Every structure is written in C-alpha cells, then in structure tokens.
Amino acid sequence: MVLIMLTYLWHNLRPRLGRGFAVVIIAAQPFLAPTAVSAPKQLLVLGDSISAAYGMDLEQGWVALLQEHLNKNQTGWMVINASISGDTTGGGLQRLPDLLQRHSPDVVVIELGGNDGLRGFPITKLRQNLTTLSLSAQNAGASVLLLSMEIPPNFGSRYTTLFRDSYTIVAEQTHASIAPFILSNIALDAELMQGDGIHPTASAQSLLLENVLPYVLPLVQLAESKP
C-alpha cells in the first residue's frame, strides 16, 4: 500500500514541481530483533596450589582439563580458576565475596584447607572458615562442592583425624556436596608427585579430574535444569 501511494504521488506531483524535484524512497525492512544468546553457566574453583597447577603451565592443570571436558560434553559452561598457591581458608574468605559478585557462579568448588593444616591452624578455625565459605556461596545461589583434603601423619593422629573429619562435618552442616581426597590414588605414588612430595605432576592431572568429575557433574546437571 505504501509503495502504491508513493507511485501515485510521483506521477501526479512531478509535473507540478518541475524537473528539479526528487523523491527519495527508503525501503523499510521489518525490524529483526537480535537473537537472544544465553549467558554461559559459571563454575568457580576456589583453591590453592593443587588447583593452581603448581609447577606447570596453567593449561595443564585439572581445572583447565575440566573446562575441556565441559566443552566436549556440556554446552555453555565457563570454568573460572580462582586458585592461588599457598592460599588458606582465611584467604579464600577474603577473596570470595568479590568473586561471587563479579561472576555469579552456578557452582563453586572449594579446594582449600591443606595449607591451614600444614601450618597447624586450629581445627575450630578451619571448620568455621569452611562453613562460612560454603554458606556464602550457597546464599549467592551457587551449589557447593567441598574437596576433602588430608595432611601428612607426622602432625599426629589426633590432629590429622580431626582435620580429615572437618570436611564431612562441614558438608553435613551446610548441605554441601563433598568429594573424597583429591589425591587419594596419587599422593603415595612417587611417579605422580613432584619432588616436594606435596604437589602432583602434570601427568597426574587427568587423574585428579577423574576424582572430581563424579561429584561435580551432578551439580552441573542440576544447574542446567534450572531456568
């Protein structure tokens, strides 16, 4: 209809307006709204040197391998590695609020506490910090996975037992998911450990991922089921 009217005006008005008159017709096309692209789901790993790929390139670490696995088997996930070598649960507490605000993660994996134990920090403080970390992430809307840690037996059986049990206790109290010791099948194998006897080698990183996957994937699937 618009084109017919413009044609009519052109033929009827041109003789009256003279040759200097020009009509510019702009063809209006339907407005196409941009296709909505959903933001990727976020998985935040808050850890220490075990997750920070100590002694190797960051791309070789188990957290980077987790991103590769999700790229192949899931859709729209971004893994954020917020791990720092030497970090403690106290350090994680200081960093977590900003990380939650910036990334709004759907899943938070907490791999902290090993350095607390190696420094002989009080068990009550360890449990308090782990509890606050878990609840803070949950209150921000994230599911939480605690990765259990262990320390060498030379700290004494009482301390090492209380340390080990802390993760189960915190998980039960905060209703967080929990995974067994991430180095359970690695720590005693000299070929899979670096010279310091504390950090796994690059070749062991795929084994770390295998230890974590059965516990992190259900949380990934749960996040995907939410609108």
Residue positions annotated with a catalytic role: 49, 196, 199
Using only C-alpha atoms, what is the Rg of the chain? Answer: 28
Q: Using the CB atoms, write b or e for 116-142: b if 16+ within 10 Å.
A: bbeeebebeebbbbbbbbbbbbeebeb
Nearest to 145 by CA among 125, 115, 170: 170
Alpha-carbon distance of 214 to 83, in angstroms, equals: 21
Q: What six digits make up the tokens of 98?
A: 């900003």
Backbone angles phi, psi at 160, to 5 degrees: -65, -35
Sign of CA dihedral 89, 93, 99, 100: positive
Helices 123-139 and 157-174, packing angle to 10 deg: 20
Closest CA to 79 of 48, 115, 54, 103: 103
